[in-house]
Amino acid sequence: MSAKSFLSGFLIGGIAAGITTLLTTPYSGKEVRRVCSDNGKAFLQHIQELKIDLNEIKDSVKTVTVEGKTVLSAFIEELKLSLDTWKEEIKPHQELLQQELDELQSTINELENDLK
What's the pLDDT at 1? 60
Residue 116 has pLDDT above 80, yes or no: no
What's the pLDDT at 6? 84
Per DSSP, the three-state class of 25 is coil
Q: Is the dihedral of CA 54, 55, 60, 61 positive or negative?
A: positive
Q: What is the pLDDT of residues 26-66, one digit of tens each?
A: 777 788 788 888 888 999 999 999 999 999 999 999 999 99
Q: What is the pLDDT of residues 1-31, one digit of tens each?
A: 677 888 888 889 989 888 888 778 777 778 8
0.75 surpassed by pTM: no
- Determine the Cα angle at 93 with ends 92 and 97, to 5°: 120
